[in-house]
Amino acid sequence: MTSASRTLEIRTSPHFVSGHDVGVIMFNVVLALLPTVAFAIWAFGLAALFTLSAAVASCLATEWVACRATGREATLGDNSVLITGILYGLTLPPSCPVWIVALGGVVAVGLGKSMFGGLGLNPFNPALVGRAFLQAAFPVAMTTFSAPFGADRFGSLPAATLALPFSRPTLDATSGATPLARWKFGGELTEANELALGLVGGSTGETCAILIALGGLYLIVRNMMSWRIPVAMLGTVALASAALHALAPETHAPARFMLFSGGLMLGATFMATDMVASPVTHLGCWIYGALIGVIVVIIRAWGAMPEGVMYAILLGNAASPLIDRAIQPRVFGGAGGGSGP
């Protein structure tokens, strides 16, 4: 203490903060997604690379423009829009025309996030908002899937990828139906191990259940993701589809098929767990996950479409504020409190 006039800085306690930080959490989510991204590019080649790049670029660009236009502080540094871009790209068919990808990216971030005020305020998972828009606007492009591991996948692009805006969609010679579609429309069952390993057709990043689960485990171990949501969601789907299968094996696929097919793994691990659009309490997370699981089974079993994960999660997001209002922690020492959700 050399001088008597030293100035002290006054900031209230706590002086300590834990290591968790929004930017760090988001960065780790990106890390957890990398294996899935790598597998997608390996399985679908240049098509996946184009789709993912266009998705990420359009999302980041939209956020940048939105921040400039509204005078909001630039948020690209927190990585949350990067995650939206990657997740959004992973939900699209690999051979989706690039212009459609870009358009959906603008909707995902513009309508799904910026319009609500940016980080922390989006009621829905923004990636799914973009995907839902495309599903409604371009149903053919959204349901045209190419088969994985095409021989020339690193040498050439599917014709659709670089199609001009609003041109007639060209159906690709190599297109193949997804396992869910083959079951729904043809009664054909794909083996669970093929599904888990990602040897099947589907959206860019939904096919390899094992790598997706690996990423999820990493986040759970680092306490950056609620494990309750995927467990509740997958558990509900498993139980409900096992029950349906037992009642009517001809019309309802077994649980192992339901668990590993379509976007369920990707949705349960990385989409439904979007912190902003899911409940904050443990009990709330259980309810939310189970609700989504039930809706998935209903849509898959009786809906017109083979897949229902996207709509199920969006409905879950919509219910999340209600769940949070109904399920509050109960104060320590109050009636039944101190042990609540």
Partner 1 sequence: MRLLGLKTFRHGVHPPEEKSETRDLPIRQFPFAPVLAIPLSQHLGRPSRPVVRDGEKVTRGQCIAEADGDLSVPMHAPASGRIVRVAPMPSISGRMVDGIFLEPQPGSTQETLEGEPCPLEGSSPEEILRAIQDAGIVGLGGAAFPTHIKLRIPEGGSADALIINGAECEPYLTTDHRVMLEQREDVFTGIRYVLAASGAERAIIAVEANKPDAAAHLREGLPGDLPVSVEVLPVKYPQGAEKMLIGALLGRKVPPGRLPIDVHALCVNVATCAEIGRLLPHGRGIQERVVTVTGPAVRRKGNYRVPIGTPLRFLLEQVGVSDAVSRVFLGGPMMGAAASSLDISITKGTSGVVAFEASEAERTHQRVYPCIRCGYCVDACPMFLNPAQLGVLARNEEFERMAEEHDLLACFECGSCSFVCPSHIPLVQSFRMAKAAVRKARAG
Nearer to partner 1, 133 or 227 (CB): 227
From residue 208 to residue 227, the character string flagging contacts with partner 1 as x (rule: CB under 8 A) and all else as - is: ------------------x-
Nearer to partner 1, 119 or 181 (CB): 119
Instruction: Measure the CA–CA gap between 203 and 111, rounded to whole angstroms.
Output: 22
Task: Report if residue 332 touches partner 1, rule: CB under 8 A.
Answer: yes
Q: Indicate whether 22 belongs to the interface with partner 1 (CB under 8 A).
A: yes
What residues numbered 66-95 form the site for partner 1, per CB under 8 A? 78
Give the x/- contact pattern for partner 1 in 148-187, rule: CB under 8 A.
----------------------------------------
Contact with partner 1 (CB under 8 A) among 203, 207, 278, 317 = 278
Asked whether the CA dihedral 123, 125, 126, 131 is positive or negative, the reply is negative
Residue 214 Cβ, how far from partner 1 at the closest point, in Å? 22
Residue among 92, 79, 107 nearest 205 (CA): 92
Contact (CB, 8 A) for 94 and 47: yes
SS3 218: helix
- How many residues touch partner 1 under the rule CB under 8 A: the total is 48
User: In whole angstroms, how close is the CB of 321 to partner 1 at the nearest point?
Assistant: 10
At its nearest, how many Å lie between partner 1 and the CB of residue 206? 25
Pick the binder of partner 1 from 176, 235, 303, 340 (CB under 8 A): 340
Q: Cβ(51)–Cβ(92) under 8 Å?
A: yes
The Cα–Cα gap between 227 and 211 comes to 16
Segment lying near partner 1 (by CB under 8 A), choices 137-145, 176-184, 235-243, 329-337: 329-337
CB of 9 to partner 1, least distance (A): 5
Comparing CB distances to partner 1, the nearer of 122 and 135 is: 122
Q: How many CA atoms lie within 13 A of 116 on its CB side?
A: 18
Closer by beta carbon to partner 1, 43 or else 219: 219
Q: Taking each helix axis as running N to C, give the angle between helix 126-137 and helix 80-91, from 0 to 180 degrees, rounded to the nearest 10.
A: 30
CA gap 330, 164 in Å, rounded: 57
Beta strands in 45-150 (DSSP E): none
13 lies in the binding site for partner 1 (CB under 8 A): yes
> Residue for token digits 């513009």?
110
Q: Minimum distance from CB of 269 to partner 1 (Å)?
A: 16
Q: Does 247 engage in binding with partner 1 (CB under 8 A)?
A: no
Residue 259's contacts (CB-CB under 8 Å, 6 or more residues apart) are 192, 209, 234, 237, 238, 241, 265
Among 11, 164, 250, 302, binds partner 1 (CB under 8 A): 11
Please say which residue, 113 or 184, places its beta carbon nearer to partner 1.
113
Tokens of 266: 């990707």
Which distant-in-sequence residues (6+ apart) come within 8 Å of 282 by Cβ?
228, 341
Is 302 a residue that touches partner 1 (CB under 8 A)? no
Please, which residue, 18 or 155, has the CB nearer to partner 1?
18
Compare residues 22 and 210 and give the one whose CB is closer to partner 1: 22
Calpha distance 92→127 (Å, rounded): 10
- Nearest CA among 29, 203, 207 for reference residue 131: 203
Pick from 200, 211, 204: nearest CA to 48: 204
**Residue 152 DSSP class:** T
Looking at residues 106 to 135 of the shown chain, list those that interact with partner 1 (rule: CB under 8 A).
117-121
Residues that bind partner 1 (CB under 8 A): 1-2, 4, 6, 8-18, 20-22, 24-25, 78, 117-121, 226, 275-282, 285, 324, 328-334, 337-340
